[in-house]
Amino acid sequence: MEITNLSPIDVWFSDFEKDPLSALDNLLRGRAYMGKLNRNETPEILFRLFHTKDTGIQRALDEAMRNWFQSYWMAMPRTAASAQWAEILQNAFISVQRLKLCKSYQWLSGSCFRGRSWLRSLYQGPARDPEASLLQTLALRQQDRTLLPLWIRLCRMEEDLPLHYGAVGLLGLRKLPEEDGTPPGGLNPIVLQGIVDLADAIYHRKKTQGEHLWLLECRAIMALYPRSTQYWIDNFSPLIHQKPIGDAAKWFNKTIPGLFDKMEQQRHDKKPTGVFSRPPSKQHLEKILRLIEEQPLDSIKEELQGFLEKHRHYAYQTGVSEFLAKTFCGLGNKIFKRDINLALDLAEEAFLWEPYNPFTWTTRAKIEEYQGNYPRSMALLWEAKRRFPGNAHIRTELANLLGKDSEYKIAEIIYRQAIVDFPKDDVCRNGLAGVLLQRGKRGDAIALLEETIKVFPHNKVAKEFLQKVTHGESIPDISKVYKDDFAGEKSKPREVEVGAKPVESAPFPTKTKIDIDEPGQKKPSELKTAGGEEEAPVEDNIEEKIGMTNLYRLESRTVDNEKEREGCKEKAFSLIKDALQKTPDNVPALLENGWLLLDEAADHARDFFSDQLKRHPHVLGLHLGNLRYKGQKAITINRQEWADLFENFSGSSTVINLERTLHEMSHGNGGRVTALDDLRRQLAKNTNQLPATLRENERWAVSLVKQSLFGNINLGESLTEDSIPPIIANYKRHEHLLKGIVEQCVSAI
């Protein structure tokens, strides 16, 4: 072996000078021995190596780190063990924070949205939780207020995450910069709102250890910001008044003696001394809408800007984003034909606040389509379809868009599947009728419309549609039909009622300036992150491939013709193979692949699930797929395996219960009645306590399972062997649908 006078650190630096990315990769992955520093944790090693170096070398590290993230984002090495990789990622995130690596930070903040489900899949407990490490890094190095909605959501526990994410949310709020980007000069009132929100969420979700965690957080924050007791009383009591938080209010009295007395006094005075503003009034909105109708946008620029600012101010002050999202999307829909840039900015800003609100997805898609960005619009809708399986409107929008591109066959499949998933939705039926006409299936269209009118006798659209068809119009204006269908959207957008899925903040600017005179249209690719960096490139067509795979896979279950069935599967396999080649750790793509293998009853499904569970131990869908495979192969599933899932994925009890029931129905060994009865009890539970990101999908699943599996069974009574024959019949009739509910819910990540 060559004798060298260079220390291991010198050798590494020499490598770094030649090839920074490779040297950094070796260090992060434990391939570089760092001599006297080696025993330290990686972030400490990197800090010691670089913190005294000149800015040029630090910049090289920053560049290398960003490239490193790009190389491995959703594509970790094949041989990597998940526990080790989780630790490596944590070390990388911490290093970005400690060494203030700006480019890496900006890349991460732009890639967070698409990376979180992957990071979450590596979760092995609070000690190996790369997602929390990333969020902590983002919180500590915030350069603007872009991430505020994310911190609020974490405090409200709107995502299905462990308790300690609430603490990350509070950290993010505390470290939120001032509007000019400077560090916070004091305790932002939004932190107090976050504390109240967290108490409320913990109380309602009945989180174990929740009170203890909350008290620790609250006391630590009060110690970090010494204020008089009167200050705390004056500032907390109006918040608690505004938001009744039940017994959680008692926790406040443990930390702020006298709070209850003050609140009692305010109750008598009936004048809570609120420090927060109100959202703009309905009258103000109506005035703005009137102005938009009557005047050129140029002439109402100031008025409109003022109105938007009021909404922003209210959202920033209170963290309540409902009004902002609804209004901004509504305005976006209203003005996109007159000022597309402004419309898109408003929709993006709404999305930033409420990414779990489907309305923010469909609005963006609509505007993107209008400005000719068809692939982006399509990608948004495919992704929305996956994230919000319980939302019928997204299906209609997607099918509509596909129809405009003459993809009638795919549109038809989407509608057909939507009709099964949403038996009470008349809009999908009318949409399907339109597509059938386009495909020359006039008879089918008429039959469908007639059936629709039978089921929904008051449906004017179907009646009018049928009338036009029967009176000789070969293909009535379908868009008119859609428009009529959503005429009520202004006042009561269907989407707003629905909230579903995860939910990271996206890399778009929070505040958009109205610059109506600016020529040219801003393309999504030109959008910058708040820090001025370009957002991470988005593989838009990946979502399309995943969506199409899902479509063909489900279709293959229903077509009778074997050749067609095989054709569907072939297409599905080919599409998902492409998607996984580009992003091998894309969790929804992996799940689609797994379901496909199960449908094939392929032996290598076992290896697939076993390998992927080693790489992604925290993905419910992979666990359920693995158990489904065992069922298929008559391998015994012990009770503990189900119990572990209930414990580790407590927010998804309905889906787990449903899968267990399906298993018992088809392969079980005497546990059928128990499983059905457990499911019955589960369906009766109150869904309000679920995180917002799960709630609407859960409601959809509950409703569909009730209808399709239990039919007319009284769910208030326990099930017995005698009462289940009709349920068995239902199961046989709707097996594919029920399986599909499980698959769609676990893929909505």
Partner 1 sequence: MAFQKTKSSSFYQFLKTTAKGSHPELRVIAENFILEERLTGQREDSYESHIAAPANVGDWQEGHEGYVAEKINVVSGTPETFTAQNQPNLISKLDENQYLVRLENATRLGNALGLTNNELIDYLSTFIKNPGDKDAPAIVEKILADWNKTRDHRPVFVGFWDEVKDLMVDPEGKDRDAPEWANRLRDRFGLGHYDPDEGEPIPVVLLRYRVSDVINGRPADPKFAAVPNVLDSKWSPFFCPTPVNGWNEGQSLDLTAGNKDEYALNCEIVHRYIAYRASYFYRAGWITKSPGRTCEEARRIHFSLLQNDYKYFSEL
Identify residue 358 by its one-letter amino acid code: P
Residue closer to partner 1, measured from CB, 172 or 631: 172
Choose, by CB under 8 A, the member of 56, 186, 226, 716 that binds partner 1. Answer: 226
Write the interaction track for partner 1 spanning residues 95-134; mark x where CB under 8 A is met and - where it is not. Answer: --xx-------------------------xxxxxx-----
The terminus-to-terminus CA distance of the chain in angstroms comes to 51
Q: What single-letter DSSP state applies at residue 496?
A: G
Choose, by CB under 8 A, the member of 18, 39, 270, 492 that binds partner 1. Answer: 39
Distance separating alpha carbons of residues 626 and 637, to the nearest angstrom: 10
Distance separating alpha carbons of residues 116 and 144, to the nearest angstrom: 21
Q: Which of these ranges, 43-51, 436-444, 507-515, 653-661, lies near partner 1 under the rule CB under 8 A?
A: 43-51
Distance separating alpha carbons of residues 139 and 136, to the nearest angstrom: 5
The verdict on 43 binding partner 1 (CB under 8 A) reads yes
Residue closer to partner 1, measured from CB, 51 or 290: 51
Q: Which residue has the tokens 């990597």?
A: 80
- Report, in Å, the least distance between residue 621 CB and partner 1: 22
Residue closer to partner 1, measured from CB, 444 or 641: 641
Choose, by CB under 8 A, the member of 57, 102, 187, 222 that binds partner 1. Answer: 222
- Report, in Å, the least distance between residue 6 CB and partner 1: 6
Choose, by CB under 8 A, the member of 83, 297, 446, 613 that binds partner 1. Answer: 83
Q: What does the radius of gyration of the chain's CA atoms come to, in whole angstroms?
A: 27
Choose, by CB under 8 A, the member of 13, 21, 37, 404 that binds partner 1. Answer: 37
Residue 313 tokens, joined: 């101010």
The verdict on 682 binding partner 1 (CB under 8 A) reads no
Residue closer to partner 1, measured from CB, 13 or 47: 47
E runs forming strands in 582-670 = none
The verdict on 51 binding partner 1 (CB under 8 A) reads yes
Distance separating alpha carbons of residues 195 and 200, to the nearest angstrom: 9
How many residues bind partner 1 (CB under 8 A)? The answer is 59
- Report, in Å, the least distance between residue 24 CB and partner 1: 14
Distance separating alpha carbons of residues 221 and 208, to the nearest angstrom: 22
Distance separating alpha carbons of residues 442 and 558, to the nearest angstrom: 22
The verdict on 22 binding partner 1 (CB under 8 A) reads no
Choose, by CB under 8 A, the member of 23, 32, 591, 627 that binds partner 1. Answer: 32
Distance separating alpha carbons of residues 593 and 745, to the nearest angstrom: 16
Write the interaction track for partner 1 spanning residues 135-174; mark x where CB under 8 A is met and - where it is not. Answer: -x--xx-----------------------x--xx--x--x
Q: Which of these ranges, 31-39, 339-347, 359-367, 405-413, lies near partner 1 under the rule CB under 8 A?
A: 31-39
Residue closer to partner 1, measured from CB, 4 or 714: 4
Residue 500 tokens, joined: 């579903």
CB contact set of 352 (below 8 Å; sequence gap of 6+): 146, 149, 505, 506, 508, 510
The verdict on 38 binding partner 1 (CB under 8 A) reads yes
Choose, by CB under 8 A, the member of 18, 224, 647, 669 that binds partner 1. Answer: 224
The verdict on 494 binding partner 1 (CB under 8 A) reads no
What 3-state DSSP class applies to 440?
coil
Asked if 37 and 45 count as a contact pair (C-beta separation under 8 A), the reply is yes
Inter-CA distances, 167 with 126, 135, 194, 235, 568, Å: 12, 11, 10, 20, 47
Asked if 651 and 205 count as a contact pair (C-beta separation under 8 A), the reply is no
Residue closer to partner 1, measured from CB, 168 or 589: 168
- Report, in Å, the least distance between residue 245 CB and partner 1: 21
Distance separating alpha carbons of residues 661 and 657, to the nearest angstrom: 6
Q: What single-letter DSSP state applies at residue 125?
A: S
Choose, by CB under 8 A, the member of 22, 67, 70, 84 that binds partner 1. Answer: 84
Our measurement of the distance from residue 262's CA atom to the centroid of its chain's CA atoms, rounded to an integer in Å, reads 40
- Report, in Å, the least distance between residue 9 CB and partner 1: 8
- Report, in Å, the least distance between residue 186 CB and partner 1: 14
Residue 633 tokens, joined: 């192969």
The verdict on 187 binding partner 1 (CB under 8 A) reads no
Distance separating alpha carbons of residues 217 and 192, to the nearest angstrom: 11
Single out the residue of 400, 457, 404 nearest to residue 433, CA to CA.
400
Residue closer to partner 1, measured from CB, 226 or 519: 226
Q: Which of these ranges, 5-13, 331-339, 372-380, 438-446, lies near partner 1 under the rule CB under 8 A?
A: 5-13
Distance separating alpha carbons of residues 29 and 38, to the nearest angstrom: 13
- Report, in Å, the least distance between residue 136 CB and partner 1: 6
Q: Which of these ranges, 212-220, 313-321, 358-366, 687-695, lies near partner 1 under the rule CB under 8 A?
A: 212-220
Distance separating alpha carbons of residues 487 and 496, to the nearest angstrom: 15
Choose, by CB under 8 A, the member of 14, 178, 216, 299 that binds partner 1. Answer: 216
Residue closer to partner 1, measured from CB, 127 or 634: 127
The verdict on 474 binding partner 1 (CB under 8 A) reads no
- Report, in Å, the least distance between residue 253 CB and partner 1: 16
Choose, by CB under 8 A, the member of 8, 272, 509, 584 that binds partner 1. Answer: 8
Please give the torsion angle defined by the CA atoms of residues 543, 547, 550 and 551, in that order, rounded to the nearest 10 degrees. -160
Distance separating alpha carbons of residues 377 and 361, to the nearest angstrom: 9
> What stretch of H or E contains 221?
helix 210-224
Asked if 61 and 20 count as a contact pair (C-beta separation under 8 A), the reply is yes
Residue closer to partner 1, measured from CB, 545 or 615: 615
- Report, in Å, the least distance between residue 87 CB and partner 1: 6
What 3-state DSSP class applies to 176?
coil
The verdict on 668 binding partner 1 (CB under 8 A) reads no
The verdict on 30 binding partner 1 (CB under 8 A) reads yes
Asked if 620 and 641 count as a contact pair (C-beta separation under 8 A), the reply is no
Distance separating alpha carbons of residues 416 and 432, to the nearest angstrom: 7
Single out the residue of 379, 382, 393 nearest to residue 430, CA to CA.
393
Residue closer to partner 1, measured from CB, 181 or 246: 181
The verdict on 175 binding partner 1 (CB under 8 A) reads yes
Instruction: Count CB neighbours of 145 within 10 A.
Output: 19
Residues that bind partner 1 (CB under 8 A): 1-8, 11, 26, 29-33, 35-41, 43-44, 47-48, 51-52, 81, 83-84, 87, 94, 97-98, 124-129, 136, 139-140, 164, 167-168, 171, 174-175, 213, 216-217, 219-220, 222-224, 226
